[in-house]
Structures are given as structure tokens and as C-alpha cells.
Amino acid sequence: MKNIKKLIIVILVLFGGFLYSNVDNTENLYYAETETAQYLSTGIIYDGAIEQTIVPTENILDGISMKSSVVGDCTNVSISYCVENMDGEIVAEGTASAKDIKNNKFYKFAFPQIQNCKEKEYIFKIEENGATEENGIVFYIDPFQTKYDLKVRGDSAEGSLVAKMISHRFDLKTFIIVMIFVLYLSAFTKILYKLFK
């Protein structure tokens, strides 16, 4: 009976560790070393769109996280975005309310998972609906990362969005760390139990 209980506990711990280890893995489109003060602003995209070329290195893609700032009253502003393949076909899309975006923070623009996308070229397009020159969302550009093509309101821009590609998947490193922590906690509890028994 004791062995069955131990087996159940082990299975539950492994299952819990597996669930916990399914995390958002990110890949920067910008240089992490670039100082924040060196970022350029896109301005409010009250007309037109931002188009950023992306090439995922993972086999799946679940979203793009972008550094954003809120300007004025964004109560009636919404964001629409999509991912297009190089044939111009939309492979994923989504919407977000500007009210949910926090000032000077990264916001995840999630969409249905794109699969089999490793090393394939796509265009991430984002538009603001209901924005004006005074009210809307501002995004940021790293002027030193020129690996990817970027267009702002139809015009080519030097640099890349301060953004991250997100792949939600099982992460072995996280799983190993969780299991080590569980083993450490288990051993520490046993030692305390023996000391105070």
C-alpha cells in the first residue's frame, strides 16, 4: 500500500512539473544590449500600419510581445494584428484592447499557434483602430538591429521593433530545475522530521 502511495505521489509530482514547465520561450527581434534611451518611437499609428518581417527559429509561434506606451485616452482604441506568409495569406490574427496595455511594458499580442514555421519568413502586421494623433499606443524601434525589414505607415524604417517572438512549449531546463527543487525540498523535509522526531 505504501509503495502505491509513493508511486501516485511521484506521478503527480512529475505531472505537475510537466505542466509547470510548459512556458513562454522568447526570442528577441532587437538587441538586448541596446540602451532604452536609444530606442526610437513609432509614434501613434492612427493611420496605416506597422509591418515587421520575422523569421522564427522555433517550430511553433504563439504571439509577439512588444514594448508599448500609452498616450492620452485609449478608452476607444483597439489593436488588430495578423501574421502573413510571403504569399500575402493571413496565417494567424487577433485583436486586443488598448485599455489592457500597460505603459512602458511588454504586451503579448497572442494568436492561434502557427506550426511548422521554423526558419520561414513572415510579416507581422499591427494596426490601431480608433486612435488619433493625441490618443493611442506608441511602439518602439531598436535602430541598431537591421537584420529584419520594418515598415511604419508604408515607409521603410531603419531598425527592428523592440519585440519578442513567443513560443509556448515544454522547456526541459525548467523541468529539470523544478525536479531538483522538489528533491531538495523532500530531502530537507525528511531531515527536519528526523531532527524533531
- Closest of 146, 164, 161 to residue 49, by C-alpha: 161
On the question of pLDDT at 13 being above 60, the answer is no
Read off the C-alpha cell for 78: 483597439
Read off the C-alpha cell for 15: 505531472
- Closest of 63, 55, 70 to residue 140, by C-alpha: 70
Report the pLDDT averaged over residues 26-34: 90
Please name the residue ranges forming H helices in 111-153. Answer: none
On the question of pLDDT at 176 being above 80, the answer is no
Q: pLDDT tens across 102-148, in order?
A: 999 999 999 999 999 999 999 999 999 999 999 999 999 999 988 88
Confidence grade of residue 22 (pLDDT, cut at 50, 70, 90): low
Nearest 5 degrees, angle CA 163-CA 164-CA 170?
Answer: 165
- Closest of 70, 64, 35 to residue 52, by C-alpha: 64
